[in-house]
Amino acid sequence: MAEPAVIARSPITPAEPPSVVDGWEVSGRRSGAGLTLVDCMPLAKILVRAAPDGAVGRWLGTPFGRAGTNPDGVLVTGSGPDEWTLFGPHGSGRALVGAVEDLSGERELVSALDVTHGRTLMRLTGAAARPLLSKLCAVDLGNAVSPNSAVFRSSVAKVITDVVRDDRSGVPSYLVHCERSYGSYLFGALLDAGAEFGIEVDGYTSTEMRGV
């Protein structure tokens, strides 16, 4: 008798109907609302620490406080002065860690850690995304201070959270990620704060990295 497939699960309970995508249990819901929230837990998340002027820092090429997409479609975010978080397609974590380690060799002190299962990631998209986040976060989210590709770490609903502005086809969109243990709470807090804007849960798909 064949062993059952191992299904990975997010700390966020999938909205009905449930589905399995890329080996993860996710929501199969498809929403056409103007403001949506997607649990993006299956995407690879790699935390890199390195000197900004070293080989790895130069290869990543994204300064502190900014985000950019590399030629392989990986979103590289400068989450700290010597810290980056990489977001890639499901299953790319090992290759990304290997690429960083191969580049660093023994020439510099570098760490690359796959935190895919350790951090919750969600995407908030819609014209009302900015006013919603403003209800929960004290950072100035105006275009002059937090334009597209801005990256910052702040308290969101009293949770220390990394936020990446990553607009989709000109529509405001934010990637929000925090420690796994706070994921369910933060997802719920965003839904509660977005109720007045008509927010709906949208399901994760394997094409989520397109446009990142």
- Give the model confidence (pLDDT) of 3-54 as tens digits: 447 899 999 999 999 999 989 999 999 999 999 999 999 999 999 999 999 9
Question: Which range (59-73, 131-145, 196-210) has the least confidence?
Answer: 196-210
Cα separation, 2 vs 132, in Å, equals 47
Q: Which two tokens stand for residue 100?
A: 């960083």
Q: Which domains does the chain have, with CATH numbers?
A: 8-42+118-202 (3.30.1360.120), 44-114 (3.30.70.1400)
* Angle 65-69-97 from CA coordinates, rounded to 5°: 90
Q: Mean of the per-residue pLDDT values for the chain?
A: 93
Cα separation, 74 vs 143, in Å, equals 24
- pLDDT-based confidence at residue 106 (cuts at 50, 70, 90): low
pLDDT, average across residues 91-98: 94
Per-residue model confidence (pLDDT) at position 118: 97
pLDDT, average across residues 185-196: 98
Q: What is the DSSP string of 132-159?
A: HHHHH--S--STTTS-TTBEEEEEETTE
pLDDT at residue 158 is higher than 50 = yes
180: which DSSP letter? Answer: G
pLDDT at residue 84 is higher than 90 = yes
* Angle 31-36-40 from CA coordinates, rounded to 5°: 100
Share of the chain above pLDDT 90, in %: 86
Per-residue model confidence (pLDDT) at position 103: 85
Write out pLDDT tens, residues 148-157.
999 999 999 9
Torsion sign, CA atoms 36, 201, 20, 178: positive
pLDDT at residue 1 is higher than 50 = no
Task: Write out the E strands in 101-210.
Answer: 111-114, 119-126, 151-156, 159-165, 173-179, 200-202
pLDDT, average across residues 101-119: 88
pLDDT at residue 211 is higher than 60 = no
